[in-house]
A and B are shown apart, each in its own frame.
Chain A
């Protein structure tokens, strides 16, 4: 079991955003978190990544309790995420954006960088090579020195994924990765995610609204509505489930 969510409840003042929700994700699964808008999906993400503290409940990553750890420390434990509205570092190149993902694994000290010790050069070189590997895998290496914000939307998405991959995560959290993409791009993204899952031996959790995408990609889904789990299991079964249909009021017709 890679990720275990155990009885998570999250209240914001009087509002219950997540109501006693539990689920598990196994290694190498591609897991979908779906549900109507406002169901609590992004809140759940933020709890897993340590941006919010749950009111109660626990989160376990690969057996380890990470519930109250700070968000940047959780990245080092092996969780990386992308954002719904693509948050790249706008003043920096694509390469630099990805290098930042590697920064935790780069081993030279502040003074060593100031005085340009040999370790600076060897580490930078090694890391740059690793960054190029990821960029080539995603097909964006020709943009390496371009300003990240000057790329097309689809390519920016790839840069964000590359940056997350650079942190060498055990599990990758993607917040609506297919948002704003046409069907062709969406299909490519699905293939890409399969490839990433296989080549990097990771687990994927994603939030999505595009049901075709979810259908194609996810092994299992969890359907949230008003912070409560209303279904967990395979997507073919989800589509038939009465509660799910009620929650979406027919959105599944498009699946």
Chain B
């Protein structure tokens, strides 16, 4: 494969990886503060995509408004999920919380299914995004260039929030020790809500990006994407936001390159995330960034 094609694949891969990364951030942050794998998280991305579709298609919004609509709806769903389903179970055994999360995930998928019907929906992508840009032989679209750039910008904003604002510091403290943080007068439920707001908004953005990049929407699209995003989060090091983004990029890139090199095995690309996951668990459970949450349990 020549350099130009490799570059093209790289950009495509990073673009796909960005969408994984945006969702992976939500997984890693919620796991950090709640030790919960929020199964419903990727479905929030799906809800965001469908919200954008609904806004553009039925309400006739322009893309920017559809974008805002998607993010707002995602955030609302995220907040409601925590308030209704997770908050009452803060003191419950972990397995209860996991089961509830599965229930919420299934609920969202089927609610969208009933509301919009089972046939895949076609998102009308504005022509701007479908232009072909030819850079020295590499075939690109505006989408694959814009998506990674915005993702990195959002990551920087998030890192700023986490490390330079008082809420961010509270979030990071909460990830380490819930009891002590509450004793210091921090309202842990409010912090958790902020985590859900941040994670859900990024998922909503990812949903919109996905709708633009792969304009066929189904209610169950979140399942596979969610699994992969979670694998990316584990690969990068669960608990680390930077790790989530790194993991997302690596996964996206690997998937794209794999299909480019082995087109006849293309059907197996979905298994790559799974392989990464098992590999990480076997050899380096703390992932690339290596954050270790284990405090004394004895």
Contact = CB atoms under 8 A, between A and B. Distances in A.
Direct contact of A and B (CB under 8 A): yes
Contacts of B296: 46
Contacts of B298: 42, 46, 49, 51-52, 83
Interface in B254-298: 296, 298
Interface in A74-112: 83
Interface in A31-71: 42, 46, 49, 51-52
Contacts of A46: 296, 298
A120 B298 CA distance: 33
Nearest to B295: A12
A51 B295 CA distance: 12
Contacts of A49: 298
A42 B298 CA distance: 9
A174 to B, nearest CB: 14
Range, interface on chain B:
under 10
Contacts of A52: 298
Nearest to A83: B298
A180 to B, nearest CB: 19
Nearest to B296: A46
B296 to A, nearest CB: 7
A167 B135 CA distance: 72
Contacts of A51: 298
B176 to A, nearest CB: 13
A83 B296 CA distance: 13
A210 B298 CA distance: 21
Contacts of A83: 298
A49 B298 CA distance: 10
A42 to B, nearest CB: 8
B115 to A, nearest CB: 41
B180 to A, nearest CB: 15
A49 B296 CA distance: 14
A172 to B, nearest CB: 17
A46 B296 CA distance: 10
B64 to A, nearest CB: 48
Nearest to A175: B298
Nearest to A87: B298
A42 B296 CA distance: 11
B5 to A, nearest CB: 47
Interface string B12-26: 000000000000000
A111 B55 CA distance: 60
Nearest to A46: B298
Interface in A1-43: 42
Interface string A113-138: 00000000000000000000000000
A38 to B, nearest CB: 13
B234 to A, nearest CB: 23
A49 B297 CA distance: 13
A52 B296 CA distance: 9
A134 B298 CA distance: 26
B208 to A, nearest CB: 42
A169 B99 CA distance: 39
Nearest to B297: A51
B286 to A, nearest CB: 15
Contacts of A42: 298
A46 B295 CA distance: 13
A83 B298 CA distance: 8
Nearest to A43: B296
Interface string A146-162: 00000000000000000
A89 to B, nearest CB: 14
B232 to A, nearest CB: 28
Nearest to A51: B298
B80 to A, nearest CB: 33
A42 B297 CA distance: 12
B242 to A, nearest CB: 21
Nearest to A42: B298
A52 B298 CA distance: 9
A46 B298 CA distance: 7
A52 B295 CA distance: 11
A160 B189 CA distance: 36
Interface in A199-234: none
B182 to A, nearest CB: 19
A52 B294 CA distance: 12
B297 to A, nearest CB: 8
A125 to B, nearest CB: 34
7 contacts: A42-B298, A46-B296, A46-B298, A49-B298, A51-B298, A52-B298, A83-B298
Interface of A: 42, 46, 49, 51-52, 83
- Pairs of residues from A and B, 5 with the lowest C-beta to C-beta distance, nearest first: A51-B298, A46-B298, A46-B296, A42-B298, A83-B298
